[in-house]
Amino acid sequence: MISSGGICMREKVLFLCTANSCRSQMAEGIANHFFGDRIEPFSAGTEASFVNPRAIALLQEIGIDISGHRSKNVDEFVGEQFDYTITLCGDARDNCPLYSGGGKRLHIGFADPAKASGTEEEIMEAFRRVRDEIKDALSGYFMK
């Protein structure tokens, strides 16, 4: 946390992915739920699309509601300062090389669950796996 005249301010974190539909939305929801007292999370994509209904359902399984989220393009955040910008896929890392919003830039890559195929249960299991990987990675990083 940043201290400003004795007042603790949460660090601003921007999670970037391609479509801002799954991974970055899940990261924002998880970060807000588990670390919202320490960080102020945001998410965006190199291309805005929609919030994937499976991502919404899988976060609801662990008590997190992102049903009110909307997909945002990274351009909405131009000029804003962030303590951390975290890319969650190679495309965002490679296509936003100049965008950092200040602060530290990190890459923590995850498979895209929206590209999973198979039965509905197999697809949902891919979403669960990525959700849990994101939760574990953020816990490992923000619990330090």
Q: Is 8 part of the annotated catalytic residue set? A: no
Higher pLDDT, 133 or 79: 133
pLDDT digits (tens, 9 = 90+) for 18-69: 999 999 999 999 999 999 999 999 999 988 999 999 999 999 999 999 999 9
Integer Cα distance of 10 and 36 in angstroms: 8
Tell me the domains of the chain and their CATH numbers: 2-142 (3.40.50.2300)
Label residue 1 by pLDDT band (50, 70, 90). very low
30 and 59 in contact (C-beta within 8 Å)?
A: yes
Q: Is 22 part of the annotated catalytic residue set? A: no
Q: Which residues contact 14 (CB under 8 A, 6 or more apart)?
A: 41, 42, 43, 44, 77, 80, 82, 84, 85, 86, 101
Task: Identify the three-state secondary structure at position 44.
Answer: strand
- Selected catalytic residue, list 51, 59, 96, 130: 96
pLDDT digits (tens, 9 = 90+) for 86-131: 999 887 777 765 555 668 889 999 999 999 999 999 999 999 999 9
Q: Is 89 part of the annotated catalytic residue set? A: yes
pLDDT beyond 90 at 5: no
